Amino acid sequence: MATTPLAVLDLVPISSGCTAAEALRDSIGLARAAESFGYARYWFAEHHLNPGVAGTSPAVVLALTAAATSTIRIGSGAVQMGHRTALATVEEFGLIDALHPGRLDMGLGRSGGRPPQQDREPALVGAAREEGTARQNRRAPNGLLIPPRFPVEKLLGSPRLQMQKTLLQLPGARPQDYTGQVADILALLRGNYRSPEGVPGRAIPGEGADVQVWILGSSGGQSASVAGANGLRFAANYHVSPATVLEAVEGYRAAFQPSSDLDRPYVSVSADVVVAKDEATARELATGYGLWVRSIRTGEGAIPFPTPQEARAHAWTAEDRELVADRVDTQFVGSPRQVAGKLEQLQEATGADELIITTITHDHADRVRSYRLLAEEWQRR
């Protein structure tokens, strides 16, 4: 499976007892390590108002990481376009590309500042109401676990997310339709943007940048359709929404039209992973994951990633466990051989051209070791 590249998705997690500055330094160090381990890409996510996550601005972190690395591709996974404009995004990436040409991936996501009803992919909205059948685990033909769909309505209506929308957007501003945003980004990069009145607009730097544009999506809705219709690369989120990963890649492939950049569909699929020398050690390192996911799913925002001892001190309720079950059950935890086997299963089920690995542990050294052990095992296959 070494012919299927592995990439990294980094949220810049802050561990309990640590600071944002430490998290940033650790992530830049991990990017250098991932480059030496042979990972193909290193992406940074964008999250806001989360005490346990320091990745608030992919472009800023990418600029720092570009200067600290030399060959690995770096990118956003993803820029939240709900509170962004096409021009600002192209210009920011253009600035980085001007000094580090040919290494940038511009990953675009729909979320961040849109009203809740606009944030939901159509396929997710209807599916969340199918309580009778949606709460049952199922399996892909090759045995990959496809858990019940998480009911996103509770999270999207949380006061914290409403506050986030208020703080991210200018008063009275409305986010542009995502399809239009992507079209504007592509036109600005190509240098053929025209306003509705026919006035040309040139993004300098940005125009002509050697940037790969990716679309990230969690279902077969608008994101998958936009990626396919524009002949762009698509990243599906098994680690965020494992219930809908198959429909996401199927929707993208069904919508795909060849472009000057891509003549066939190209899919990357993400997975949460913890690798250690043996399964028992890996499960100990992953102990904090469920509590961390709970903090996100309750709408309070990601907490600093807890130690195993802190996580075990939490008094779990049945409601808590149901809240995080889909994410905990689909985290790949174990020895290098065990996790590589699960990743092969994910690749087979989705037909992924690449796999994106996201690993969070309390101690940074354990996170680096997890990526190293996985890369070594993957290269042996």
CATH number for the domain harbouring residue 11: 3.20.20.30
Please report where in the chains the tokens 């070494």 appear, as a residue: 2
The tens digit of pLDDT for each residue in 90-99 reads: 999 999 999 9
Calpha distance 225→179 (Å, rounded): 9
The pTM of this model reads 0.93
Asked if the structure places residue 244 within a domain, the reply is yes
Number of structural domains found in the chain:
1
Asked if the structure places residue 292 within a domain, the reply is yes
Asked if the structure places residue 260 within a domain, the reply is yes
Asked if the structure places residue 1 within a domain, the reply is no
- 38 token code pair: 């042979």
Give kind and range of the element (H or E) at residue 24: helix 20-37
- Cβ atoms within 10 Å, residue 143: 9
Q: Quick one: pLDDT at residue 9?
A: 98
Q: Which residues neighbour 332 within 8 Å (Cβ) at sequence distance 6 or greater?
A: 271, 272, 273, 274, 338, 339, 342, 343, 346
Q: Which residues of the chain have pLDDT under 70?
A: 1-2, 112-135
Asked if the structure places residue 354 within a domain, the reply is yes
> Cα dist. 184→37, 83, 107, 120, 287 in Å?
36, 15, 15, 22, 44
Give kind and range of the element (H or E) at residue 32: helix 20-37
> Cα dist. 353→76, 235, 264, 269, 346 in Å?
18, 10, 11, 8, 11
Calpha distance 381→377 (Å, rounded): 7
Max Cα–Cα distance, the chain, nearest Å: 64
Asked if the structure places residue 23 within a domain, the reply is yes
Give kind and range of the element (H or E) at residue 46: none
Asked if the structure places residue 357 within a domain, the reply is yes
The tens digit of pLDDT for each residue in 323-380 reads: 999 999 999 999 999 999 999 999 999 999 999 999 999 999 999 999 999 999 999 9
Question: Which residue range forms the structural domain that includes residue 232?
Answer: 6-380
Q: Quick one: pLDDT at residue 114?
A: 52
Q: Quick one: pLDDT at residue 236?
A: 98
- 146 token code pair: 């496809």
